[in-house]
A and B are shown apart, each in its own frame.
Chain A
Amino acid sequence: MATEKTDVVIVGMGAVGGILAAELGKAGMKVIGMERGPRLTTADFSGQDELRYFQRQDLRPNAKRQPVTWRPNANANAKPLPVLNYGNQAGGGTVHYGAVSWRFHEDDFRPRSQTIERYGASAIPKDSSLVDWPLTYAELEPFYDRAEYELGVSGKAGNLQGRKIEGGNVFEAPRRREHPLPALLADQSGFIFEDGARKLGYHPFSTPRAIISQSYRGRTSCTYCGFCQSFGCHVGAKSSILVTKLPEADATGNFKLLTGTMCFRVNSDNSGRVTGVSYYGADGSNNTIEAELVVLAPFIYDNTRLLLLSKTKKFPNGLANSSGQVGKHLMAHITPRVFATFDDRFVNIYMGPSAQKHSLDDFNADNFDHSGLPFIRGAQISVSPADLEAGPIGAAISMNPPPGIPRWGASYRDFLSNYFARYAAVVAQTENLPYGDQTIDLDPSVHDQWGLPAPRLTYDWRRPNELARIEFMLVKLEELAAAMGATRVWRSPLGSGAPGAHHEGGTRMGDNPKTSVVNRYGQSWDIPNLFIIGSSTFPSMSGFNPTLTIQAFAYMSADAIVNRYRKSPGRLI
Chain B
Amino acid sequence: MTEQNPTRRTFLVRAIVGTGAIAGAELVPDACAQNNQAQKDANPPAQLHSSGDRHGAFFNHDDAATIAAFTERLMPGAPGKPGAHDAGVVNYIDLALSGAYADLQDFYRRGVAQLDAYCRKTYNEPFVRLQSVRQDEVITALEQGKATEFTWPTAQEFFNIIRTHTMEGMFADPIYGGNKDFAGWRLVGFPGAQPIFTKTDMESKQAFTRTPITGL
Contacts and interface: CB of A to CB of B under 8 A. Distances in A.
Whether chains A and B associate is: yes
B194 A225 contact: yes
Interface stretch (A5-13, A49-57, A123-131, A238-246): A49-57
Interface string A199-228: 000000000000000000000000111110
Contacts of B164: 397
Interface string B177-216: 0000000110111110111111101111111100000001
B75 A225 contact: no
Nearest to B207: A346
Contacts of B208: 346, 348, 351, 421
A51 B173 contact: yes
Nearest to A189: B202
Contacts of B168: 51, 55, 393
A56 B100 CA distance: 9
Given A187-B202, A348-B204, A421-B207, A392 B139 contact: no
B193 A227 contact: yes
B78 interface: yes
B24 A410 contact: yes
Contacts of B13: none
Contacts of B22: 410
A3 interface: no
Interface in A36-52: 47-51
Contact of B81 (A185, A346, A414): A414
B49 interface: no
Given A409-B73, A421-B188, A396 B28 contact: no
Given A346-B31, A396-B170, A408 B188 contact: no
Given A348-B204, A418-B28, A49 B216 contact: yes
Given A343-B27, A411-B24, A420-B188, A391 B171 contact: yes
B74 interface: yes
Interface string A59-76: 000000000000000000
A352 B32 contact: no
A393 B172 contact: yes
A350 B207 CA distance: 12
For chain B, the bracket of interface size reads 35 or more
B28 A409 contact: no
Given A223-B196, A416-B188, A408 B75 contact: yes
B24 A188 contact: no
A392 B184 contact: yes
A573 interface: no
A352 B216 CA distance: 20
A414 B75 contact: no
Contacts, number: 146
A84 interface: no
Contact of B197 (A226, A234, A393): A226
Interface in A105-140: none
B28 A234 contact: no
A213 to B, nearest CB: 11
A91 to B, nearest CB: 21
A371 interface: no
B86 to A, nearest CB: 11
Nearest to B74: A408
Nearest to A351: B197
A50 B173 contact: yes
Contact of B171 (A191, A223, A352, A396): A396
Contacts of B136: 409
Contact of A417 (B81, B139, B205): B81
A198 interface: no
B149 interface: no
B167 interface: yes
Interface string A366-404: 000000000000000000000000011101110000000
Contacts of A81: none
A50 B32 contact: no
B131 to A, nearest CB: 15
A185 B26 contact: no
A186 interface: yes
B195 A55 contact: no
Max count, chain B CB within 10 A of own CB: residue among A185, A413, A420, A422: A413
Interface of B: 19, 22-28, 31-32, 35, 73-76, 78, 81, 83, 100, 136, 139, 143, 163-164, 166-168, 170-173, 175-176, 184-185, 187-191, 193-199, 201-208, 216
Interface of A: 47-51, 55-56, 185-188, 191, 223-227, 234, 343, 345-346, 348, 350-352, 391-393, 395-397, 407-414, 416-422
7 contacts: A51-B176, A186-B202, A188-B205, A234-B195, A348-B202, A348-B208, A409-B73
